[in-house]
Structure 1
Amino acid sequence: MEVQTRSGPGGVADGGVFTSKACMNCGATQNLLKCSRCHQAWFCSVQCQKAYWPFHKSVCRRNDFADAIESTEPKFASWMRKHGKIAVLKDDEVERLERASKSGNGTKREDVMRSMYGRADPKPLAPSYTPEDLRRMGEAQERRALEAPGTASIADAAWAAIDIPRDLGLDCGPYKWCQTQAQVFVYVKLPPQPFSKYSAFGKSSKVEVMLEPTAMRVSWGGEELLGGELCREIKCDESTWFVSDGVVELALLKRYRRGLAYAKGETNANTYWKSVFANPEEKEALQVNHPPSKYYDTEWRMEEGGDGGGPGTARRSRR
């Protein structure tokens, strides 16, 4: 039994298969050019192509795979276009489709198919994330960077930049301190945190500082980092603190200091602190019997706007 194919104008069969080389609009056979998109339909002029476009657009499809191999395998490319084959998948690409079919969540089979079909070199779809997913991934990346060995954080660099003058203070490990004739500067390094945890002004909302005339305490998120009874009194109302680059910097104004008053029977030599806290461990106290001569050259005129000239001031001025 003979089966006949019913053709439309210009030699196109029902279903969009082109059967002859003729203008799709007027049937002309001279001076023909292919459709630049599907490479299947022929037209004799731009006018004919525009006139026939409302009918042609339903079957006009780009075939990237056929376009890629047409220069080396024109017959195979023509066969793919003629039979509507839009992709040739390798085994690993078929496995991707099968995994997507069995997946309960994530990328669906239809999405994977759209990413493959019509492409000479199918690639996996790029993952899609919600703003919350992106925020969590960013924090995780920052956390890994902070925990990576040999990686210096902003806080590490700021901490290393604090230079304590000999015999005017100590590096006690968890904290550093130094002094002038008017103030005692204490530096406490905060636990590692992603940079986003610090506000634009450098002060973290998790830091709490308690100052009393004879005691002080520095806490981070409810956990005490440093605290105890001070070795000498301070004027807590005129003492200050702030957070910069992950380091808490405290400027404690001495209660008895040069230019103001000394305790009964004391001199300027008694304003020299050998430690921050009373009853310190040996490693937290200066092992000297008398103040060094350079102590008497340090800043003491607080009423003229000086802030004691501590290393924290010098470090801030270099930034």
Structure 2
Amino acid sequence: MAAVARDDEAEIRECSNCGETRDLLKCSRCQSAWFCSVKCQKAYWPFHKAICYRNEFADATQASEPKFARWMRKHQKLAVLKDDEVDRLERASVATTGPSRNEVMDSMYNRIQPKPRGPTFSAEEMIAMRKQADEEMLQGRLACSRTRAWEEICLPPEMGMDCGHYKWYQNQSFVELAFPLPEHTQPKEVQVVLAPSIIEVRMGMRTPLKGQLFADIKVEESTWYVQDSLLSIQLLKRNRRGHYANGSDNAGTFWKSILRKAPEKEQLQLEYPPSAYYNSYIEPEAVPAHRMLTGKAKRTRSSNARQS
């Protein structure tokens, strides 16, 4: 009963440094020490700093149970865990070669939710993790941009087709192709080689298209560029509306595939050109050709390709 009586006694207030009992101020951090002046507080700090820290559990119970909060501050460290769990953590911390016992157990005391603190990282590690997160976010945005740009390419019926790894479309003057760049492929790794009857497309170590064209082209007026993670190629037909080859007519300007020996799945299965083809774009004098891709094209790489 005596011990209970002492716990219920009023808190003893005196300066921890000089013993003064008048005009005292409580330490705002630990809420358990009193000082009569800033001078005494500074003088006593070398002795007080070892036990001066916030007790979040005591702070939370101060208003409703001040005596219990004072008891917790008096006993300094209080683990809100069962005794067998505390013993288990102590044994585990001593047995391992990782964090010391103090590092494990100190992180459990004086906290409303007594869970071990998470790992700490150096400034260099934080910078590296932030850089990695930024790169992952950028790659995600590029992938979304690549997918959106690819899906926005619209192909008129029977005047082109989606071949899976590329799409192509034609009118009476031009043939246009679009290739999605493989992930992590830079524009400088893209090369397009054009000849009057040959095309070769290289993207890093990949060659998605190579072979003899369905019909000849004018190399000096054909071009290519990279935009929005897409490779766009524009080929000017040599045999086109208003510039027919000998013995050819308008129907003879129609391409059924990009390559002369293309697989059957990459060929238009048409005996005659569709009627919409004869109303499609015609090359005027000194006016740039219509492009399949919409928006402003920033030419990152072009080719007035060499003629063989």
Instruction: For 1:1-319, list aligned pairs within 5 A.
Output: 20-24=12-16, 27-30=19-22, 32-43=24-35, 48-58=36-46, 59-60=48-49, 61-64=52-55, 65-85=57-77, 87-89=79-81, 112=104, 115-123=107-115, 124-125=117-118, 128=121, 129-136=125-132, 153-191=144-182, 193=183, 197=184, 204-259=187-242, 261-301=243-283, 303-307=285-289, 309-312=290-293, 315-316=294-295
Change (3 A) 1:101 1:275: farther
Q: Is the 8 A contact 2:17 2:41 kept in 1?
A: no
Structure 2 residue runs without a partner (length 5+):
1-10, 298-308
Change (3 A) 1:26 1:175: closer
Matching residue of 2:306: none
My pick for the range that moved more, 82-91 or 291-300, is 82-91
For residues 55-96 of structure 1, what are the alpha-carbon distances to aligned partners after superposition, in whole Å with 9 as ceiling and x for unaligned?
A: 232305133233233334434433333343265456767766
Q: Deviation of residue 251 (structure 1)?
A: 0.8
Alignment partners' CA distance in 2, 1:53 and 1:204: 66
Q: Deviation of residue 232 (structure 1)?
A: 0.8
Matching residue of 2:8: none
Q: Is the 8 A contact 1:25 1:49 kept in 2?
A: no
Q: Deviation of residue 179 (structure 1)?
A: 0.8
Q: Deviation of residue 38 (structure 1)?
A: 2.6
**So what's the TM-score if we normalise by structure 1?**
0.70
Structure 1 residue runs without a partner (length 5+):
1-18, 147-151
Change (3 A) 1:171 1:87: same
Change (3 A) 1:216 1:122: farther
Q: Deviation of residue 183 (structure 1)?
A: 1.0
Q: Is the 8 A contact 2:25 2:37 kept in 1?
A: no
Alignment partners' CA distance in 2, 1:177 and 1:157: 17
My pick for the range that moved more, 224-233 or 51-60, is 51-60
Matching residue of 2:7: none
Alignment partners' CA distance in 1, 2:172 and 2:241: 6
Identity across matched positions, percent:
39
Q: Is the 8 A contact 1:87 1:120 kept in 2?
A: no
Matching residue of 1:149: none
Q: Deviation of residue 127 (structure 1)?
A: 5.5
Which of 1 and 2 has higher RCO (CA within 8 Å, sep 6+)? Answer: 2
Change (3 A) 1:130 1:270: same
Q: Tell me the SS of whatever aligns to 1:280.
A: coil
For residues 227-261 of structure 1, what are the alpha-carbon distances to aligned partners after superposition, in whole Å with 9 as ceiling and x for unaligned?
A: 221011112232222233333211112123234x3
Q: Deviation of residue 262 (structure 1)?
A: 2.6
Alignment partners' CA distance in 2, 1:33 and 1:134: 44
Change (3 A) 1:253 1:96: farther
Alignment size in residue pairs: 277
